[in-house]
């Protein structure tokens, strides 16, 4: 029998629970922020290397022209990189992810719960989208096995891969990244030896009736908006564990490096593959290029991203149910719930509703990111309204704070109406950016109008000065 030291036996129950629960319900103590920025950047590569970015690049190039897709990719890197850097910095300073930051960042603890739930559903939906790409690739080689069997197998696999939290994610992403790059280089090399189905340089490809700029470019930007908010917010789930000495360089690295890779490398390669092979589905052209190796490549990339999708979903679900129902079964319980939910969505054909899901997601997530950044940089730092720190504990917070809640609801509602085409072609394509700008303005106006009275019910006395963000 393994002996247990007296020190281990006497450790507080809350401390042991926090380790298992990955601090899903409170800030990470400074003593537990031990991850270097390189390790955290490595974890975020699980998102940046998703084949979904291939698909976005291919679809945009074939529908709207390669040059429009390239310009849009550059825009996505810059805007998402700036947002992501700010979010990563606030997360590293406070030891919180965006779900917890939202509680003291303008929403109140019930208002923040609504963002947590929608955030969780986004990750579960993405897990389903990514899982179906994997299923399609593998089913090509084993058509006698029904697709539902692959859905259950691959959907279940991400659950044990999430069991031990961020340290397990770090090891998985670290050891699988070199294999991913080998497959990627092989796919690029084989594409050079595969005759192009479209003549001329790939960046010059332009469908009939399409021109550079105008509506075609706006449509590409609109497609990118569906992912930009997610990639900017996602880093906070990992940067809260960052070493304090790495905060500044780490925030910029985690903010920009993954964005550059997902939009600038994976997206541009998607444009390249799509134009050369005249095919938008990477599940088809990667298998065409690498055969069974393509199926293995797809399996690796999709498992890499889906373990991070489920991890983030589990944190958001933990926050939502603790806030609303005081139900705290632990993060691992929510890993199982998120994994099973993704399987159900795959079996139900969620991919048929991809466009509607991406539209609302882009509007909501960019507006949410805009509220958080505006609250920290303008309301807290410039206007000196509200506390200079984030507080997540219910006893110190109001249920609702109109600053973030009203701003997000109005911006998301009007942004969705614009995205559905009721405000003209320009706003239809830029609905998420419109919603983000509107959310930022409303955050400032509402904070001034309420004079910050709904941020704290009472002042906590135990916030470390180093955790202040303003």
Q: Show the CA angle centred on residue 181, arms to residues 206 and 229, nearest 5°.
A: 60
> For the chain, what is the radius of gyration of the CA atoms?
22
For residues 233 and 183, what is the distance between their CA atoms, to the nearest angstrom? 28
Q: Dihedrals φ, ψ of 422, to 5°?
A: -85, -5
For residues 273 and 177, what is the distance between their CA atoms, to the nearest angstrom? 21
Cα-Cα-Cα-Cα dihedral sign, residues 303, 308, 309, 311: positive
For residues 234 and 247, what is the distance between their CA atoms, to the nearest angstrom? 16
Q: Which residues pair with 242 in a beta bridge?
A: 35
Q: Print pLDDT tens along the chain (470 aa).
A: 444 444 444 444 344 444 446 787 789 999 999 999 999 988 887 778 888 899 889 999 999 999 999 999 999 999 999 999 999 999 999 999 999 999 999 999 999 988 889 889 888 988 888 888 888 888 888 889 999 999 999 999 989 988 877 777 777 878 888 888 999 999 999 998 888 888 888 888 999 888 898 889 988 988 888 788 888 898 898 999 999 999 999 999 999 999 999 999 999 999 999 999 999 888 788 888 998 898 889 888 888 888 888 988 998 898 899 888 889 898 889 999 999 999 999 998 776 666 566 677 889 999 999 999 999 999 999 999 999 999 999 999 999 999 999 999 999 999 999 998 899 888 988 899 999 999 999 999 999 999 999 999 999 999 999 999 98
The model's pTM: 0.87
Q: How many CB atoms lie within 10 A of CB 284?
A: 16
**What's the farthest any 2 CA atoms get from each other in the chain?**
75
Q: Of 450, 438, 461, nearest to 379 (Cα)?
A: 450
For residues 458 and 35, what is the distance between their CA atoms, to the nearest angstrom? 33
Tokens coding 401: 């704070």
With a CB cutoff of 8 Å and minimum separation 6, the contacts of 332 are 20, 162, 163, 314
The helix (run of H) or strand (run of E) holding residue 184 is: helix 165-192
Q: b or e along 44-77 (b: 16 or more beta carbons within 10 Å of the residue's beta carbon)? A: bbbbbbbbbbbbbbbbbbbbbbbbbbbbbbebbb
């Amino acid at each position: 029998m393994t002996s247990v030291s007296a020190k281990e036996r006497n450790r507080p129950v809350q401390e042991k629970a926090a380790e298992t629960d990955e601090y899903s319900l409170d800030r990470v103590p400074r003593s537990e922020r031990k991850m270097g920025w390189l390790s955290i950047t490595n974890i975020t590569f699980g998102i940046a290397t998703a084949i979904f970015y291939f698909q976005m690049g291919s679809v945009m190039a074939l529908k709207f022209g390669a040059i429009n897709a390239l310009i849009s990719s550059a825009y996505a890197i810059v805007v998402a990189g700036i947002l992501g850097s700010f979010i990563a910095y606030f997360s590293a300073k406070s030891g919180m992810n965006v779900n917890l930051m939202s509680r003291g960042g303008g929403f109140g603890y019930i208002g923040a719960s609504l963002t947590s739930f929608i955030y969780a559903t986004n990750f579960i939906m993405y897990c389903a989208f990514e899982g179906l790409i994997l299923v399609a690739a593998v089913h090509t080689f084993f058509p006698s096995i029904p697709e539902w069997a692959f859905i259950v197998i691959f959907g279940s696999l991400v659950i044990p891969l999430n069991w031990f939290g961020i340290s397990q994610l770090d090891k998985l992403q670290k050891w699988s990244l070199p294999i991913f790059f080998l497959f990627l280089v092989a796919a690029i090399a084989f594409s050079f030896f595969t005759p192009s189905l479209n003549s001329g340089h790939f960046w010059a490809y332009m469908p009939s009736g399409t021109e550079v700029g105008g509506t075609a470019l706006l449509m590409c930007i609109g497609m990118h908006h569906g992912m930009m908010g997610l990639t900017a917010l996602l880093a906070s789930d990992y940067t809260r564990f960052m070493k304090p000495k790495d905060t500044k360089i780490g925030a910029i690295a985690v903010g920009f490096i993954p964005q550059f890779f997902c939009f600038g490398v994976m997206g541009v390669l998607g444009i390249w593959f799509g134009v050369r092979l005249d095919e938008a589905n990477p599940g088809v052209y990667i298998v065409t290029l690498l055969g069974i190796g393509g199926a293995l490549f797809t399996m690796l990339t999709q498992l890499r991203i889906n373990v991070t999708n489920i991890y983030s979903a589990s944190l958001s679900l933990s926050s939502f149910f603790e806030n609303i129902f005081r139900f705290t079964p632990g993060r691992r319980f929510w890993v199982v719930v998120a994994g099973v939910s993704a399987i159900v969505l795959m079996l139900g054909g969620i991919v048929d509703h991809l466009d509607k899901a991406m539209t609302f997601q882009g509007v909501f997530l960019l507006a949410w990111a805009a509220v958080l950044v505006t609250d920290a940089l303008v309301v807290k730092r410039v206007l000196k309204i509200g506390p200079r720190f984030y507080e997540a504990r219910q006893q110190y917070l109001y249920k609702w704070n109109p600053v973030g809640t009203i701003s997000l609801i109005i911006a998301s509602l009007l942004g969705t109406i614009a995205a559905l085409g009721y405000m003209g072609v320009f706003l239809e394509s830029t609905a998420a950016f419109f919603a983000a700008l509107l959310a930022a303005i409303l955050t400032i106006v509402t904070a001034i109008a309420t004079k910050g009275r709904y941020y704290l019910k009472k002042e906590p006395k135990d916030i470390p000065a180093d955790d202040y963000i303003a």
